[in-house]
Chains A and B, each alone.
Chain A
Amino acid sequence: MADKKFVFMQGDEACALGAIKAGCRFFAAYPITPASEIAETMARELPKYDGAFIQMEDEIASAAAIVGASVAGVKSMTATSGPGFSLMQEVIGFASMTEIPCVFVDVQRVGPSTGLPTKPSQGDVMQARWGTHGDHPIIVLYPSTVEEVYKHIITAFNLSEKFRTPVIFLMDELLGHMRESFYLPSDDELEIIPRMSDDISDEEIYHPFESEMEIPNPLRAMGRSKFHVSGLIHDETGFPVGTSNTASKLLKRLENKIKLHTDEISIYEEYFVDDMEILIVAYGSVARSALRALKIARSDGIKVGLFKPITIWPFPSNRLRKLMKNVDAVIVAEMNLGQIIKEVALLRHPGLKLEPLNRVDGELISPEEILEAVANLRLKLNEF
Chain B
Amino acid sequence: MIGVIVLFEFEDLDNYYLVKIFGDFDVLNSGEIKNKILEKVSDVVSKDLVIDLTNVSYIDSSGLGVLIGLHKQCKLNGRRLKLFGLNKQLEELFSLTSLDKILNIYNTFEDAIKKEE
Contacts and interface: CB of A to CB of B under 8 A. Distances in A.
Closest 9 CB pairs of A and B: A179-B61, A296-B3, A300-B3, A371-B2, A181-B93, A180-B60, A6-B92, A375-B2, A8-B96
A364 B3 contact: no
Contact of A371 (B1, B61, B62): B1
9 contacts: A6-B93, A7-B96, A8-B61, A8-B97, A178-B61, A180-B60, A181-B59, A364-B27, A371-B3
B113 to A, nearest CB: 28
Interface in A1-22: 6-8, 10
Nearest to B92: A6
A372 to B, nearest CB: 7
Q: Which of A6, A8, A366, A374 has the most CB of B within 10 A?
A: A8
B3 A299 contact: yes
Contacts of B93: 6, 8, 181
Contacts, number: 54
Interface in B54-82: 58-62, 64
A160 interface: no
A374 B92 contact: no
Interface of A: 6-8, 10, 174, 178-181, 288-289, 292, 296-297, 299-300, 302, 364, 366-368, 371-372, 374-375
A288 B58 CA distance: 13
B5 interface: yes
A178 B2 contact: no
A239 to B, nearest CB: 52
Q: Which of A7, A179, A297, A375 has the most CB of B within 10 A?
A: A179
B28 A289 contact: yes
B59 to A, nearest CB: 8
Contact of B60 (A179, A299, A366, A371): A179
Contacts of A367: 5, 28
B89 interface: yes
A302 B3 CA distance: 9
Given A6-B93, A374-B2, 17 more contacts: A6-B92, A7-B96, A10-B61, A174-B27, A178-B61, A178-B62, A181-B89, A181-B96, A296-B2, A296-B3, A296-B5, A297-B2, A299-B3, A302-B2, A367-B5, A371-B1, A371-B3
B contact patch SS: loop
A99 B97 CA distance: 43
Contacts of A7: 96
A289 to B, nearest CB: 6
A8 B60 CA distance: 9
Contacts of A372: 1
A289 B29 CA distance: 10
Contacts of B27: 174, 178, 288, 364
Nearest to B89: A181
Given A181-B93, A288-B28, A368 B5 contact: yes
B100 to A, nearest CB: 13
B83 to A, nearest CB: 16
Given A180-B61, A288-B28, A6 B2 contact: no
Interface string B2-19: 110100000000000000
Interface in B68-117: 89, 92-93, 96-97
Nearest to A302: B2
A118 B21 CA distance: 29
Contacts of B60: 178-181
A197 to B, nearest CB: 38
A368 B64 CA distance: 22
A136 B25 CA distance: 43
Nearest to A299: B3
B25 to A, nearest CB: 12
A215 B96 CA distance: 45
A375 B1 contact: yes
Q: Which of B2, B59, B93 has the most CB of A within 10 A?
A: B2
